[in-house]
Amino acid sequence: MKLSHMVWGLGALCLSCGSDGSSAGGSGGAGQGGTAQGGSGVNGGSGANGGSGANGGSSSGASGGGANGGTGNQVPCDGEPEHSGEGTYYDADGSGNCSFDASPNDLMVGAMNQTDYQESASCGSCAAIEGPSGSVTVRIVDRCPECAPGDIDLSPQAFEKIAQISQGRVAIKWKYAPCGVQGNIKYRFKEGSNQWWSAVQVRNHRNAIAKFEFDSGGGTFVEVPRENYNYFVYASGMGPGPYTFRITDVYGNQLTDSNIAFAEAQEVAGAGQFPGCN
């Protein structure tokens, strides 16, 4: 039986644990990427990315402009802290509180517990999970408000990689790890975005996103707050564009993209990607 995502902003409904909750999200806009630039830092509670498919979305859009940056840090995959909790499953389709599009061709996805969701900071990251009978890497696309810290609610397809579906709930251990994405970073402007109210989502990122900034003029970068539904929203607007964006991952690597044209509700590939494991 397929359960619909009924209430925006609540999270994944767990079929195997009998709890309530569901989710949906908004959608978003466009831009272009760059080469990674250095920094340091190890990911803690919500963040580094791990390895399944690319972040949601299939629409194409106008291209952005040039990108610049330097060499980024390699991700210390073995240094990620290990989390423990319980794995369950729900009727996942790749969409959810993170506002990604449904991804029927990539159902290795999951909903993060409320604590580790961290106000959407874990969205688009990936978790490498060990269960009783196997392992799987999933992309975080949703929030599970009723799940305890350390728990991840999985798609049935992902749950079957670590346990028999009849078990319903099993002990798991997991770590964040770089996502096995193809191609470059993508940006998407949310529907309704304009020069007076701007909302941008970062997609197809290898590592979790820690910061999003735009150049407000003369090389002055302004940090944009992240909403619980995984869009960076600048309430007074970023102007008509074209824009220069700078994004930073949880390890301190940066990508800076210039001449990004405004394209409402369209997805545009950037010119670079964050580094992977060392």
3-state SS assignment for residue 53: coil
**Does some domain include residue 151?**
yes
DSSP symbols for 54-76? PPS----------EE--PPPPB-
**Does some domain include residue 58?**
no
CATH code of the domain containing 100: 2.40.40.10
**Does some domain include residue 240?**
no
Average pLDDT over residues 8-19: 54
Q: How far apart are CA 261 and CA 268, in angstroms?
A: 10
Q: Is the pLDDT of residue 37 over 50?
A: no
Query: For the chain, how many structural domains are there in total?
Result: 1
**Model-level pTM?**
0.78
**Does some domain include residue 227?**
no
**Does some domain include residue 165?**
yes
**Does some domain include residue 97?**
yes
Q: Which residue has the higher pLDDT, 278 or 275?
A: 275
- Torsion sign (Cα): 271, 107, 232, 119: negative
What is the domain extent for residue 166? 77-177
**Does some domain include residue 9?**
no
User: pLDDT tens across 60-113, in order?
Assistant: 344 445 554 444 566 666 778 999 999 999 999 999 999 999 999 999 999 999
**Does some domain include residue 139?**
yes
